Structure 1
Amino acid sequence: MKVKVRYFARFRTLAGTSEEELELKEGATIKDLVELIKEKHSAFSEEVFEQNEEADVNVSRNGRYAKFDEVLQEGDIVALFPPTSGG
């Protein structure tokens, strides 16, 4: 299945693109997608996903926040963006 990945802020720089389409096996989760991104773009492994990947990145799936154990579907749009803070 194919999913579209959109990169924002520093993740765009690390990936070298703002958007790409990736191929995953049926039943793949967001965590599987993150692993594929780490293999494809080594800068993610080095800078972003050092120990607890969920703390270092926000993920949305089709416009809503998503958890790493969510199963992806053909045509999903997944966005990766840095955590935000403020008040």
Structure 2
Amino acid sequence: MRIRVRYFARFRSLVGTGEEELEVPEGTTIGGLIEILKERHPVLKNEVFAEDDDLADVNVSRNGSYVGFDEVLEDGDVVALFPPVSGG
């Protein structure tokens, strides 16, 4: 199935693009997609996800809504990755 991944802020700079389309297997979860992206873009593995299972440095939306890492993707989904926002 095909999905679109959009990168924002630091992720866009690291990956070198704002958006890409990927073919992923049926039943892929957000967490599985993160693993695919780490293999596709090693800079994410080295710079963002340096520690195993460290997903605290990423927010994920699917079709405009925040989702958990166990959310199952569907054909045509748009997934956005962006850093956490903090304020004071």
Q: TM-score, normalised by structure 1?
A: 0.95
Aligned residues: 87
Unaligned segments of structure 1, at least 5 residues: none
| Cα shift readout 1:10-57 (whole Å, capped 9, x = no counterpart) | 100111100000111000000111011101111000011122432010
- Confirm whether residue 55 of structure 1 aligns to residue 28 of structure 2: no
Distance, in Å, in 1 between the alignment partners of 2:23 and 2:14 is 19
Query: What is the RMSD computed on CA atoms of the aligned residues?
Result: 0.9
> Which residue does the alignment assign to 2:40?
40
> Which residue does the alignment assign to 1:72?
73
Distance, in Å, in 2 between the alignment partners of 1:53 and 1:64 is 21
| Cα shift readout 1:35-86 (whole Å, capped 9, x = no counterpart) | 1110111100001112243201000000010100000000000000000111
Identity of aligned residues (%): 63
> Which residue does the alignment assign to 1:19?
19
> Which residue does the alignment assign to 1:31?
31
Q: TM-score, normalised by structure 2?
A: 0.94
Distance, in Å, in 2 between the alignment partners of 1:36 and 1:53 is 15
- Confirm whether residue 82 of structure 1 aligns to residue 87 of structure 2: no
